[in-house]
Amino acid sequence: MHKDTLTFKMDEQDYQKLLAYLKNPSKVGKEYEKYVSQFEERYNYIYREEWRMISRRKVEWIMSIFHDDPMKAHQNANTMY
């Protein structure tokens, strides 16, 4: 993963809801507004400070790429770079 990516346990539906709110804020409860105040939308992605947020589904997808592909099995950092 990119060094500026932070794994955050957020379902795809919650991720899309948050992204939609950040793009077009609407009136919601104060508790939700306080929660979303820690995030911002940049380039169609959600960021928390300098960290890019990704949904749980994307984390699973990324992990499967490196785990399930026999060509990438058991590669260490020295082999990959």
User: Domain ranges in the chain?
Assistant: 5-74
Residue 74: pLDDT over 60:
no
pTM confidence score = 0.65
* Contact call for residues 43 and 4 (beta carbons, < 8 A): no
Cβ neighbourhood burial of 64 (10 Å; 0-12, 13-18, 19+): exposed
pLDDT digits (tens, 9 = 90+) for 13-37: 989 999 999 999 988 889 999 999 9
- DSSP state for residue 81 in the 8-state scheme: -
Residue 25 φ/ψ region, left for φ over 0, alpha for ψ in the -120 to 50 degree band, beta for the rest: beta
